[in-house]
Structure 1
């Protein structure tokens, strides 16, 4: 088969991790240094670093958490004002375009999808994608009283894509839906109820799945938390595995205190050949999918993710593959429900099919918006070692909100063409949303969670259904302790229980009926 020279190809990957303990301030890794180390590793991985370095005309950086969510990084550390240009300067590259991505864990795979199409169209020659987080450094420094100064001002223009679309609206925020740690439990409990599991049974299932993930992380040289943990430990509250939001304990959720960087290099087959990149290093994108879901309270079924379902279906169709033809997976794993819903959509058994190559966000590390760049790097190494096989990456952003999928292989596609993701999005946009109520009402709990602060229950939210719509509510004034006690009552599953809703000044409050 003659390979068209404009076929996009992934030619280099690199990762970096640092377990800085705070003892030597001069050795403290920064987001900039971690990106530099990962990018140099990706250049070296191509086998012809100098040729590739001189060919790079686009650098795109995944948005750092410090520029995504205020308060994620301790104040005072600062940062680079133009991260892609800062990286370019460290690498000795002068790109024609420098891009800073929108917020979201879908970004690494979405950027691969985007620039594969640009390379195919001749709009880009060689593209470096990179990202990093040094949240562990910042937190360790703050705890030990170490002063860090990451401020860096870079001349030149970059394309700053901003924060992207809002994923929650004022109605949701007013009524208690907000941070991921208080939102993903709503999906988790809804799925648990649909599957007919008790709370204890579902925690056991989550913990058994995560125990498998932790074993992968224990063997991953780039993992931030490379320690195998037993299902019993993961299911049991303790000083080191305390409740964060029902049903989650600490190690059930993504751990963002990481020092990690990753990088990928994309180019065309013709350019790769001209630069002398060995064919054994080439990896091809065979299919892709992208979709964005409605706001949380407007989704018809909280126990499903239509964005995951649609993006996976579209990617498999565009690659001409079925799940049985995929040998390797890395499914985004910020919370167990993301993995469980993806496995369900694929029709595979999460307990018998390996669904991570890194160990996932709780154990390999939740490197902000950039986790899936580590997954793609790991997939590249895995597929090179298993030539001819196929691998699937699912990257997730927001609240199961933004999904990006890529299907890869060392086998070249017969005729590469960009995938049109618009029909996938149209499928979701066309679906009817439930009515949201702002009125006095009585309904039944559809899902709920209780959030913890310093190990103690501190806040709660329920989503309830009535005959005419859906209600989001927080505990009524003066009734918080009773509401939390009712939701945590081990003798009564909250789902299906009756709640009375009072609406006052735009806020819905609930009390649980006896």
Structure 2
């Protein structure tokens, strides 16, 4: 702890403004429909105003960073209303910020925390005076407007210097895509079932656990004015299939997964202590980043143990160690919550009892809302607000991207660090990279199911896959086209531990038969 009488190193990074916007527009009229540009502008304007020195801070910002939208994260994704060609320059123009450089981020829910880590290092090094980090999604508006046949125009864009960081590398291999893995709702079930089995749970027991965890999140969301879905669902409701909570992919029902139909935006401003003092920003607005870390895992099928996440374990450990704190010193947590497994792995790594200590500040991606890559920027903005109310307390953010692929963590407090320095994650990345990948098979074989899922469409099983192990390696296989019998068998009961016969058909590993427990 830095004594109040001690001066703080002027190079120390500090967050001085935060803003959030949530619109519940649901197709009332085209004129009032929010666009991503409008949402970014409004959240960024709130972040500037939140500093108490809006005009002065506006003149100091020389870097604007925009978190990549979901449509811009999916090659070939339909964008019926067009797209903004330069999000950071457009935000800058909207707010009257002149001469700022722009960055458009990679995809991934890790990006908000990873970017805060990066921008803190940039201001500390003197490369940037002040940086605005902002992101938005208007998926709800897109869906409602398309459903009602409205014609919206989302092409408004300003010109300016922009570094477009692109997609940031593949998150699934061609082997995985060809043989059954795809979107998060098709992929995270593999981790959930693997964790369930390691925990010794039946499907019924794990359903109850997930639903109890999520009921706590829903309660937080119900009290959060920024939530898109503020309803306190019970564990009973969340664990029971119904018209409003239908199967998505075994073991998940609708409300177990992130809800992307949101109109939400968030923004924060990062500068240095010296710049904050020069601008006259009151000390009561300051929140500091302490320890931080990031790491990236291998492709899903190349991971040695699908029930664990070395990146989650290691980034949490480094963020705490470099902040000089232990779990018991942390008063506030927001652990990324796209699916229950992400929270359960993080609380396990921390040794955190989520029944006694809430693992979310916002209510999480199913209930607060899942604004694509930008969710954790809402968590960070909320953390800033909450820590100002609790001077001296510490909070921890965990952000996750891909398929438990990219992790970033940060510890925050109004208490300044004794001596801030950017943290390298090279050592923990080397540990992740050192894990031994199982050989991947593409041949006719028998195997034992490690994990699996069945994906549902309109309440009926539509496709399935298994990941199996044999003495020769690991194999990923999917149900064949129009193979209703195999699909029905896979959906009927727990497949983990059962034998599976795989045949290669037209270059695809195909489930030919399911047996009993090996």
**Shorter-chain TM-score: which interval?**
over 0.9
User: How far apart in 2 are the matches of 1:427 and 1:505?
Assistant: 38
Residue 75 (structure 1) shift: 3.7
* 1:156, distance to aligned residue in structure 2 (A): 2.4
Distance 1:477 1:135 in 2: 31
Question: Does the alignment pair 1:506 with 2:507?
Answer: yes
Q: CA RMSD in A?
A: 1.1
Partner residue in 2 for 1:494:
495
Q: Deviations over 1:411-449 (max 9, x none)?
A: 010000110111111110111111111111111100000
* Cα deviation, residue 70, structure 1: 4.7
Quick check: 2:92–2:100 contact (8 Å CA) kept in 1? no
Q: SS state of the match for residue 99, structure 1?
A: strand
Does the 8 Å CA contact 2:292/2:322 hold for their aligned counterparts?
A: yes
Secondary structure, in 3 states, of the residue corresponding to 1:261? strand
Residues 26 and 140, structure 2, Cα contact 8 Å, conserved in 1: no
The alignment of Structure 1 onto Structure 2 pairs a total of residues equal to: 510
Which one of the candidate residues 373, 393, 417 is aligned to 1:413? 417
- What residue number does 2:270 align with? 266
Q: How far apart are the structure 1 equivalents of 2:108 and 2:397?
A: 15
Of the candidates 298, 311, 317, which is equivalent to residue 315 of structure 2? 311
Q: State which of 6, 9, 24 in structure 2 corresponds to 1:4.
A: 9
Which residue does the alignment assign to 2:3?
none
- Deviation at 1:505? 4.2
Q: How does 1:93-172 map to 2 (within 5 A)?
A: 93-172=97-176
The structure 2 residue matched to 1:302, chosen from 288, 306, 320, is 306
Shift of 1:169: 0.7
Unaligned stretches of 5+ residues in structure 2: 1-5
Secondary structure (helix, strand or coil) at the match of 1:387 reads coil
Q: For 2:480 and 2:31, locate their aligned partners in 1 and report how far apart those are by CA, in whole Å.
A: 51
Deviations 1:245-287 (A, max 9, x none): 0110100000000000000000000000010111011011110
User: Counterpart in 1 of 2:227?
Assistant: 223
Matched with 2:451 is 447
List aligned pairs for 1:194-273, cutoff 5 A.
Answer: 194-273=198-277
Please give the secondary structure, in 1, of the residue aligned with 2:365: helix
Partner Cα distance (1:466, 1:300) in 2: 14
Aligned to 1:382: 386
Distance 2:218 2:238 in 1: 10
Find 1:51's aligned residue among 52, 56, 73. 56
After superposing on structure 2, the runs of 4+ consecutive aligned residues of structure 1 that deviate more than 4 Å are none
* Mapped partners of 1:141, 1:40: distance in 2: 26
Instruction: Kindly provide the CA deviation profile for residues 321-355 of structure 1, in whole angstroms up to 9, marking residues without a partner as x.
Output: 11111110000000000000000011112222200
Pick one of 184, 191, 195 that aligns with 1:191.
Answer: 195
Unaligned runs of 5+ in 1: none
Change (3 A) 1:201 1:95: farther
Normalised TM-score (structure 1): 0.98
Contact 1:64 1:131 in 2 (8 A): yes
In the TM superposition, residue 104 of structure 1 has moved relative to its aligned partner by 0.3
1:211 match: secondary structure: helix
Q: Give the deviation of 1:218 after TM superposition.
A: 0.6
Secondary structure of residue in 1 paired with 2:381:
helix
Q: In the alignment, which residue of structure 2 is the partner of 1:293?
A: 297
Partner of 1:39: 44
Q: 1:477 Cα shift? A: 5.1
Aligned to 1:474: 478
Which of 45, 63, 67 aligns to 1:62? It is 67
Shift of 1:71: 6.9
Cα pair 1:59 1:95 within 8 Å, conserved: no
Partner of 2:372: 368
Task: Report the TM-score, using the length of structure 2 for normalisation.
Answer: 0.97
Question: Which residue of 437, 442, 446 maps to 2:441?
Answer: 437
